[in-house]
Structure 1
Amino acid sequence: MEKPKDKKWILTDNPAIKFEDNTVGRLKKQIWDASEEEIDAILKEYDIPSEPELGKAGTYIQNTPRVKVIEKRRKNDIVFVPIGCTENHGMHANSGLDTFMVTQILEG
């Protein structure tokens, strides 16, 4: 039986952190080495963070007049319902964190 070739690794200053020497690994290393300004520029390029949709009328069933909901559902009957736990995440975070995270993923 032939042994698989050892992967080549890209090392960092932290011995616990290394990246595979491939396209994705090199990209991860580039981000790892990036300054905060470079990361901010990358995020801005992809419009992250984007403005939340919750405050925009007509985005969610909860903020859309019923007549518009009926009209929209005739065009597209797919409805995403973000569901997450409401739980104690500690004194530093709100209890709806999971639901808010799922909502942001759906908005993306």
Structure 2
Amino acid sequence: MSVVKLRELAHSRTGDKGDTSNISVIAYRAEDYPRLCQALTVERISAWYAELLDPAAGPVRRYELPNVHALNFVLPGILRGGVTRSLALDAHGKALGAALLDMDIEL
């Protein structure tokens, strides 16, 4: 079994609404989409961002988009107030996607 960085299998797009960030992970190749579905569980994403998540805001949610070989994760409360109310350096959460792509994935 080998291990690769998620960035070798997929790219990411992020968005924000209030204090919620969504992170889409899109497979480069259709044949890698099932691997992403298996590796990127809600539990694993929650653990990856554990230090940033606000448990009171609600759980991480995962949406599967098989027609475009993508997963979309919604992370409530992670932006700590949102763009207009946060003093965070990355108020939009754009760095969250880049950080996720550093995750190791077993092949």
- Shorter-chain TM range is under 0.3
Larger radius of gyration: 1
Normalising to structure 1: TM-score of the pair?
A: 0.23
The structure with more helix, counted as a fraction of residues:
1
More strand per residue = 2
